[in-house]
Structure 1
Amino acid sequence: MTNNFETIVLDTTGEVGILTINRPAKLNALNIQVHRELKACLTELQNSKLKGLILIGEGEKAFIAGADIAEMKPMASGEAQAFAELGQQVTLLMESLPFPTIAAVNGFALGGGFEMAMSCDFIFASKNAVFGLPEVKLGLIPGFGGTQRLARIVGERRAKELMFSGRNVTSEEAKSLGIILEVFEDKAKLLEGCQNWFKLANANSNYAIARAKETLRDGIEKSLVEGLAVEAKAFGNIFQTEQMIEGTTAFVEKRKANFK
């Protein structure tokens, strides 16, 4: 796995990888280089044997404070669109990884940082986490998927309220809105909580988890009838696979499954 990056660090020593945005002096703000390195990294991870990935930010102040405004400010319209499209490619790659992903948010997750977090399967956060889409305060709109993903999570009206006001959201409110799943005391407890969740998930069939994730993604924007057809086909395709045979055999034999 390539790891000769300057703005990100990928640790794949365990079953669960840790991907760190590493620009603490800039509060891990997303610039073109970060996006290009993330795109290269996540493209490689599509075929990884990892069973999970945790996305974090370096330091104690921010997960990702947003896009790099100093780099964005002089962009012409076409350059800005290309920047947004690059960020969207990155978030789509994150969503399409064949294993569960958790954004471990400590500190600020604003603008592009919030958008990156929403592209993960789950968001866990520490008590000091702060979320928001403040782009309207800068005369901008979200560009890395925020206008689309937030509404799918919290509903159209609440998404409008958060985007139009540009206000910050605490970890407690974010949990009440369904944006995050769990809140932890600090960053250390947050990372421990992520690892504990993966211990639970990784006792199961990683092949089945990948197919469940794929099926949900393929069917969620379709009608119910179309989505059910996607599910039925995927359900049939998973039969007689190695892990299906092991899981069902273990159940019948009343033993713990050994998924390889």
Structure 2
Amino acid sequence: MNDLIKVSEQDGVLVCVFDKKDSSQNVLDKNFFEELEEILRHYGNKMPIVFASAKKDFLAGADVKLMIGISQEQAERFIYQATNVLNRLASLKVPTIAAINGQCLGGGLEFALSCKIRVAAEDAQLGLPEVKLGIIPGFGGTQRLPRLIGLRNAAEMIASGKSVDAKKAKKFGLVDDIAPKNALIQRAVSLARDGKVPERKRRKLWLEKLYILPIVKKEVAKRVNPNHYPAPFKALEVLAKTSFSADYELEKITFCGLVISSQAQNLLRVFLLQQNAKKRWPKETRIKRTAVIGAGAMGAGIAYALSKAGFPVRLVEKDEKNLLKGLRQISALYKKDVERRRLKKHEAKRCFELISPTKEFSLSAADLVIEASAMLYNGRNVSLECIFLIRLTKCRWLKSFRPSQPKKKSFRKPEQS
């Protein structure tokens, strides 16, 4: 008990602090909901409750790792457990307050929506980004958010997956107050002691359904193909078909159907790969020299971008004809920059001279190698061999990669070592 949620009492207010051990983030999983349910059962309506976080973010949402390879039966069990606990939280008679710092996304925001009052720190970011992972909110977000901020704002947030900052959230009515980060919990405790729950505007959601949802659907259709990316359209269907009552059955069914789909599973895996990649790189590393394998249209474009940013580039291409063609393409790009007055003539010349074309695969001096073409050299797949050698030797650019950020219109040649 209390491995994830630390409980204390301040001035007659129960303060529950999320603090998952050995983790930089608080995530929603089976253990979290079991612990929360036990707290609600034990304390119930005895005193006001404030929920806060000991991490830099409030709640990061459901644990994505649990959704990889999940079956429909497992998804249904998890969703029913989560919604039952959050419905119990929402039905409490005492004031319940979410003190939101940092990111409050996905299931984290759905948790906050189950509280009666929301206080945000100035750095707070709130959103329901589930559609970016090929799913929809599954813990009551499609039902509670429209009742709070109106169907137009809710539909846009849910269908786009974009988050809003504290100021915009307060303007929408998503949060009730904004407090300095160092006084967030004190402000929440003060509101809990006061005991006043803000009056909510009664919204004519049936009217908004008739006029707003078709407009939002057209806007989404301009950006997204429903055959390849069905989640935003499924979210809008749920908004269109439900009555925004306490019955979240359609939301649950839609979530469980989407989470096991190939689109969602692929997007969830990509998300995890991106998160893992962020953890690998140390913060401070300087890239001094670069290399690009392949001088085709893509390779030439990459070499142009790197040289324009001030990096020396070794452009590798085994075919001399293709190498010259790539150089001509880069030269034409710089000529355009001069004609459009993006660069002066001497600046374009200096950038172009940072590119050294070669047919030899001598890449040992490069801190960063970008493969723009899988190439065979003397019957060997150079790209695969480069990757193998990088893994074998723990090549320094892969082990510690953070590109330097040259200032705009700064053409100082990077330091040489």
TM-score higher than 0.5: yes
Kindly indicate whether residue 66 of structure 2 is the aligned counterpart of residue 71 of structure 1: yes
| More deviation, 6-15/62-71 | 6-15
SS of 2:99's equivalent?
strand
> Of residues 184, 190, 207 in structure 2, which corresponds to 1:190?
184
**TM-score with structure 1 length normalisation?**
0.72
Structure 1 match to 2:149: 154
Larger Rg: 2
> Of residues 29, 36, 39 in structure 2, which corresponds to 1:38?
36
Kindly indicate whether residue 122 of structure 2 is the aligned counterpart of residue 127 of structure 1: yes
1: CA distance between counterparts of 2:2 and 2:195?
Answer: 29
Report percent identity of matched pairs: 34
Kindly indicate whether residue 91 of structure 2 is the aligned counterpart of residue 96 of structure 1: yes
Q: Deviations over 1:216-242 (max 9, x none)?
A: xxxx969xxxxxxxxxxxxxxxxxxxx
Instruction: In structure 1, give the amino acid aligned to 2:105.
Output: L
Structure 1 match to 2:107: 112
Query: Residue 39 of structure 1: CA displacement?
Result: 1.4
Structure 1 match to 2:25: 27
Instruction: In structure 1, give the amino acid aligned to 2:61.
Output: G
2: CA distance between counterparts of 1:62 and 1:180?
Answer: 16
Kindly indicate whether residue 52 of structure 2 is the aligned counterpart of residue 56 of structure 1: yes
1: CA distance between counterparts of 2:186 and 2:24?
Answer: 26
SS of 2:52's equivalent?
strand
Q: Please tell me whether the aligned partners of residues 39 and 89 of structure 1 are also in contact (alpha carbons under 8 angstroms).
A: no
**TM-score with structure 2 length normalisation?**
0.46
SS of 1:192's equivalent?
helix
SS of 1:190's equivalent?
helix
> Of residues 4, 7, 24 in structure 2, which corresponds to 1:7?
4
Query: Residue 130 of structure 1: CA displacement?
Result: 0.6
After the TM superposition, which residues 159-178 of structure 1 pair with which residues of structure 2 at under 5 Å, given as runs? Answer: 159-178=154-173
Q: Deviations over 1:70-128 (max 9, x none)?
A: 11222111111211111111211111222101100001100000000010000001000
Q: Please tell me whether the aligned partners of residues 43 and 93 of structure 1 are also in contact (alpha carbons under 8 angstroms).
A: no
2: CA distance between counterparts of 1:82 and 1:171?
Answer: 33
Runs of 4+ in 1 over 3 A off after TM superposition: none
SS of 1:124's equivalent?
strand
5+ residue gaps, structure 1: 203-208, 213-219, 223-260
1: CA distance between counterparts of 2:135 and 2:102?
Answer: 23
1: CA distance between counterparts of 2:92 and 2:36?
Answer: 13
Instruction: In structure 2, give the amino acid aligned to 1:58.
Output: A
Structure 1 match to 2:351: none
The alignment yields a C-alpha RMSD, in angstroms, of 2.1
Pairs aligned (count): 200
SS of 1:12's equivalent?
strand
SS of 1:135's equivalent?
helix
Q: Deviations over 1:182-238 (max 9, x none)?
A: 11121x211121122234338xxxxxx9xx9xxxxxxx969xxxxxxxxxxxxxxxx
2: CA distance between counterparts of 1:66 and 1:78?
Answer: 20
